[in-house]
């Protein structure tokens, strides 16, 4: 799933980010309400983790704006430190789908996100991603290419997971940078070097490179081995 975390507490945000990313999800994060709203409106997410108390714009206002002004229905799981019925009700009135009171178990967060996503009729992409000779299992992080297993560093793995989401489609460099590094500033050299590392690891394992450079634009994962 593609998940947005809007949380200003650095330790909580990092824990959520690391846990969900390690579980094979694609995660973006914002530390304030304004950035969170901007991301939620400009990108498509499968679920949003939204803290109630945020600088810039609180979670309830963000939620309300998203639902009523931007007409965006992405499932929202509200995270709240204030265990009062009143806050919970306000959260639901603003259009949140579910809530969790801090402190929460990380596994519980993932389970609720998946449940909300399914209730909306969404497919959970926590299943095997596959094209041609290449497969990636987001649950075990096991990558296989032409019969050989491949080990990849985290960012290269995420790059591969994004491209495997739509094999054959051309991804622009900007799009890949945004999907993998989000608002962390990535230079053009960052993508280039991770892409190089990914292609080298795959070529070494499978005997050929399944990624094509699309001149002046970006990259594409080929769907059939070259003949
Ligand atoms: Ca907070």
Model pLDDT, residue 34: 92
Is 158 domain-assigned? yes
Which of 50, 85, 119 is the last residue before a domain boundary? Answer: 119
Is 210 domain-assigned? yes
Residues 35 and 97 placed together within one structural domain of the fold: yes
Which of 100, 119, 138 is the last residue before a domain boundary? Answer: 119
Question: Across the chain, what does the average pLDDT equal?
Answer: 87
Expressed as residue numbers, the domain containing 154 is 129-221
CA of 132 to the centre of ligand 1 (A): 45
Residues 106 and 9 placed together within one structural domain of the fold: yes
CA of 94 to the centre of ligand 1 (A): 17
- Pair 205, 146: CB distance under 8 Å: yes
Residues 136 and 214 placed together within one structural domain of the fold: yes
Residues 148 and 206 placed together within one structural domain of the fold: yes
CA of 16 to the centre of ligand 1 (A): 14
CA of 12 to the centre of ligand 1 (A): 9
CA of 9 to the centre of ligand 1 (A): 6
pLDDT reading at 136 higher than 80:
yes
Is 226 domain-assigned? no
CA of 122 to the centre of ligand 1 (A): 29
On whether the pTM is more than 0.75, the answer is no
Residues 21 and 88 placed together within one structural domain of the fold: yes
Which of 119, 150, 179 is the last residue before a domain boundary? Answer: 119
- Pair 182, 29: CB distance under 8 Å: yes
We report the CATH number of the domain holding residue 217 as 1.10.10.10
CA of 56 to the centre of ligand 1 (A): 11
We report the CATH number of the domain holding residue 35 as 3.40.50.2300
| CA-closest candidate to residue 147, choices 201, 222, 197, 207 | 207
CA of 179 to the centre of ligand 1 (A): 25
Residues of the chain with pLDDT > 90, as a percent, come to 44
Indicate if the alpha-carbon torsion angle 147, 148, 154, 157 is positive or negative: negative
Residues 50 and 114 placed together within one structural domain of the fold: yes
| Location of structure tokens 């990313």 | 21
CA of 157 to the centre of ligand 1 (A): 30
CA of 53 to the centre of ligand 1 (A): 4
CA of 11 to the centre of ligand 1 (A): 11
State mean pLDDT over 150-162: 87
By the CB criterion, residues less than 5 angstroms from ion ligand 1 are: 8, 51, 53
| CA-closest candidate to residue 97, choices 125, 118, 123, 124 | 118
Domain count, the chain: 2
pLDDT reading at 129 higher than 90:
no
CA of 57 to the centre of ligand 1 (A): 11
Is 227 domain-assigned? no
CA of 8 to the centre of ligand 1 (A): 5
Is 31 domain-assigned? yes
Residues 14 and 103 placed together within one structural domain of the fold: yes
Residues 112 and 7 placed together within one structural domain of the fold: yes
Residues 70 and 137 placed together within one structural domain of the fold: no
Residue-wise pLDDT tens digits, 43-98: 889 899 999 989 999 998 999 888 888 878 889 999 987 666 676 667 677 788 88
CA of 82 to the centre of ligand 1 (A): 10
Question: What is the H or E stretch that residue 101 is in?
Answer: strand 98-101
Residues 99 and 196 placed together within one structural domain of the fold: no
Residues 102 and 83 placed together within one structural domain of the fold: yes
Residues 114 and 143 placed together within one structural domain of the fold: no
């Amino acid at each position: 799933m593609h998940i947005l975390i809007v949380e200003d507490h650095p330790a909580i945000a990092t824990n959520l980010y690391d846990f969900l990313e390690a579980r094979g999800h694609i995660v973006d994060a914002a530390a304030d309400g304004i950035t969170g709203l901007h991301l939620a409106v400009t990108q498509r997410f499968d679920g949003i983790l939204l803290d109630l108390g945020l600088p810039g714009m609180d979670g309830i206002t963000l939620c309300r704006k998203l639902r009523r002004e931007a007409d965006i229905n992405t499932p929202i799981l509200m995270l709240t430190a204030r265990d009062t019925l009143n806050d919970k009700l306000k959260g639901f009135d603003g259009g949140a789908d579910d809530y969790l009171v801090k402190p929460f178990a990380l596994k519980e967060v993932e389970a609720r996100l998946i449940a909300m996503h399914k209730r909306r009729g969404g497919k959970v992409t926590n299943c095997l991603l596959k094209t041609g000779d290449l497969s990636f299992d987001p649950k075990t992080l096991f990558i296989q290419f032409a019969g050989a297993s491949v080990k990849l560093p985290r960012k290269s793995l995420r790059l591969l997971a994004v491209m495997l989401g739509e094999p054959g489609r051309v991804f622009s460099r900007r799009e890949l940078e945004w999907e993998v590094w989000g608002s962390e500033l990535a230079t053009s050299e960052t993508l280039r070097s991770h892409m190089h590392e990914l292609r080298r690891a795959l070529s070494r394992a499978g005997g050929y490179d399944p990624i094509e450079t699309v001149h002046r634009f970006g990259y594409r994962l080929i769907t059939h081995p070259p003949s």
